[in-house]
Amino acid sequence: MTFNLTLSGSDLLLLLPEMLLTVWLCVVLIVDFAMPRLPKDRLAYLSVGGLAAVLVNLLWFDRAGVTGTLFANMFVVDRLAVFFKLFIVGATILIILVSVDYVRRFRFFKGEYYFLVLMSALGMMFMASANDLLSVFITLEFSTFGFYVLVAYLRDDVASNEAGLKFFILGVFAAGLLAYGISLVYGETGKIVFSDIASASPTPGLVIGYLLIFAALGFKIGAVPFHSWIPDTYHGAPTPVTAYLSIAPKGAAFAILLRMFFVSLATLKPAWVLLLVGASILSMTYGNIVAIAQRNIKRLLAYSGIAQIGNILIGLAAGTKMGGDAILFYLLTYLFANLGAFAIVIAVGNLIHSDEIEDYNGLNRRSPFLAFAMLVFLLSLAGVPPLAGFIGKLYIFLSAINEGLYTLIIVGLINIVISMYYYLVVVKKMYINEPTDPSPLTISTPMKAVVYAGLAGTLILGIYPQPFIDWVVAATLMFSNLAGHTAAAPTILPFGG
């Protein structure tokens, strides 16, 4: 195999967003070192400016339909990759905005924080484009690298150190699994590009190899039984990092999962449906039931995140183009609702220095806006109309019922009710209980901007989802050859218009 490394201008164009971000994160680092007197808030806005440029670039890719592959199919730019890159960049912008107040509390390395966030974003953008097993490994480790540092950022805080250590040890272990799985798959097939291995026959070595890769990615998304790092890491990490960790890597990992299951494993679908059904049922049920017992809002959101991942896995288990659409749409709703909820947690945490649910008592009296926003985000996570989460859940269920996954849907529906309970417990504390300290709470402008963005996203996706549905449907056109095994597919309105 020979690599042809002569890159033309149009090839470089495909890398433009990544190159832009690379340059920008160097700029941020240099500015931080060269101008030590500069208030660190400026760095945040500088980073947001660079990300905004990347965002515009990606939007242009999306509108113009730029596609192509690079480096012998290692790196692919298609609608799916662009969707996930937009998702990641959007999440990163919002995360940097919610970090501003929090970072001010750090004693050291305020500037490096933004650099590390941007670096993780860069790694995840490459993840979205990873098209073979080797690039999966490199990009996944690259993006996780930044997170190892970020999770343990509060170096005086024992919980943060513990979180960082747990995350690191388990993350390295998962990396080992991934490397071993990749080597098995490569040994069996002699190929590493997803589309090339599609035709391989399932030998035991290949099956074990894929199971190991799935375990490593399952660790990344935090699906049961690979979830054990989530609660402690989420709890101990600085809250903006927790928020980041709970959204962006999940999206990037799902980009890889979609490519792996829908492209290279499409022919073996009956074999892996059961695996995903199992993981999904376990994640939803475990996450929701354990969340009931939580006293800390970060842990509650950690477990609810595990349950949400279980919901998304339903779409993966459906294994159709519609399942893919549903996953993408669900991730969008999850982005706004979960990030919004974390923004409130950060805002409240900054003001009252506590993440205990008990301390949310009477939030409605102290800050009606924060309480109302939290109400909307939690209800969206629970899947209550007219909010985004409801459409996301319905989309997922519709894709699953077309494939006849009744057990999964029944479990999913029961879990909606369970999750409603613990979300409503938080609502009860905020609205019904009386505050111990009734002094009003006010939040800063960047924080407000994020909360407004979350509210707008949650409401618009819930009330007028059509443009977004069109978008995700266009993003997964590459999967339209995936056929369901039921007769429900040939309908009046064919998928994809």
Partner 1 sequence: MGDYTLLTILFAPFLGAVLLIFVPNRQALQVRLVAAASAGISLLAAFYMFFAYDSAKGGFQFVQRHEWSKELGIAFYLGVDGIGTPLVLASAILLFAGIFISWHIKDRTKEFYIFLLILAAATIGVFMSLDLFFLYFFYEMSVIPMYLLLGIWGSHTKGYLDMTDPEGLRKRDSVSFIFNFAANSKEYAAMKLTLFLSVGAVVALMGILLIYKFSGLHTFDILVLREQAKFSGSLATIIWLLIFFGFASIAPLWPLHSWSPVGHAAAPAATSMLHAGVLMKLGHFSIIRVAFEILPETTRELMPIAAVLCIFNILYGGYVAYYARDTKYVIGYSSSSHMGYVFLGMAALDYISLTGAVLYMFAHALATGMLFAMAGWVYDQTHSRDIPSLGGLVNRMPFVAGCFLVACMASVGMPGTVNFIAEIMILVGSWNKYPFQVIVAVLGIVLTLAYLFRMMRGVFYGPMEEQYSHAHDAVAMVDRLPLLLMIACSITFGIFPGHFYNVIRSGVDPLVARITQVVPIAAQSGSDELRVMSDELYEVAGQQASAVGAPGANRSTLITGDPLLQDCNGCPPSPITGREP
Binding site for partner 1 (CB under 8 A): 325, 364, 368, 379, 384-386, 390, 394-395, 397-398, 401-402, 404, 409-410, 413-414, 416-417, 420-421, 424, 427-428, 431-432, 465-466, 469-470, 473, 487-488, 491-493, 495, 497
Residue 491 CB, shortest distance to partner 1, in Å, is: 4
Residue 64 CB, shortest distance to partner 1, in Å, is: 23
Q: Which is nearer to partner 1, 137 or 329 (CB)?
A: 329
Residue 464 CB, shortest distance to partner 1, in Å, is: 8
Q: How far apart are CA 314 and CA 254, in angstroms?
A: 12
Q: Which is nearer to partner 1, 431 or 479 (CB)?
A: 431
Residue 390 CB, shortest distance to partner 1, in Å, is: 7
Q: Per-residue DSSP letters for 1-16? A: --------HHHHHHTH
Q: Which is nearer to partner 1, 22 or 433 (CB)?
A: 433
Residue 344 CB, shortest distance to partner 1, in Å, is: 17
Q: Which is nearer to partner 1, 24 or 329 (CB)?
A: 329
Residue 58 CB, shortest distance to partner 1, in Å, is: 23
Q: Closest Cα partner for 171 from 135, 146, 207? A: 146
Q: Which residues contact 282 (CB under 8 A, 6 or more apart)?
A: 223, 224, 225, 310
- Compute how many other C-beta atoms are within 10 angstroms of the C-beta atom of residue 295: 10
Residue 363 CB, shortest distance to partner 1, in Å, is: 13
Q: Which is nearer to partner 1, 58 or 478 (CB)?
A: 478
Q: Which is nearer to partner 1, 437 or 470 (CB)?
A: 470
Residue 492 CB, shortest distance to partner 1, in Å, is: 6
Residue 473 CB, shortest distance to partner 1, in Å, is: 6
Q: Which residues contact 136 (CB under 8 A, 6 or more apart)?
A: 127, 130, 178, 182, 213, 256
- Compute how many other C-beta atoms are within 10 angstroms of the C-beta atom of residue 480: 15
Tokens encoding 430: 């905020």
Q: How far apart are CA 73 and CA 59, in angstroms?
A: 23
Q: Closest Cα partner for 269 from 473, 483, 487? A: 483
What distances in angstroms separate CA 315 from CA 157, 160, 308, 418, one per listed residue?
39, 34, 12, 20
Residue 373 CB, shortest distance to partner 1, in Å, is: 12
Please, are residues 366 and 439 in contact by the beta-carbon 8 Å criterion? yes
Q: Per-residue DSSP letters for 361-414? A: TTHHHH-HHHHHHHHHHHHHHHT-TTSHHHHHHHHHHHHHHTTT-HHHHHHHHH
Q: Which is nearer to partner 1, 147 or 397 (CB)?
A: 397
Q: Which amino acid is at 279?
A: A
Q: Which is nearer to partner 1, 245 or 300 (CB)?
A: 300
Q: Per-residue DSSP letters for 216-247? A: HHHHHHT-TTS-TTHHHHHHHS-HHHHHHHHH
Q: Which is nearer to partner 1, 115 or 468 (CB)?
A: 468
Residue 401 CB, shortest distance to partner 1, in Å, is: 5
First to last CA, the chain: 40
Q: How far apart are CA 69 and CA 80, in angstroms?
A: 13
Q: Which residues contact 473 (CB under 8 A, 6 or more apart)?
A: 325, 495, 496, 497
Q: Which is nearer to partner 1, 204 or 467 (CB)?
A: 467
HEC sequence for 39-87:
CHHHHHHHHHHHHHHHHHHHHHHHHHCCCEEECCCCEEECHHHHHHHHH
Please, are residues 72 and 27 in contact by the beta-carbon 8 Å criterion? no
Q: Which is nearer to partner 1, 16 or 409 (CB)?
A: 409
Q: What three-state secondary structure class fits 483?
A: coil
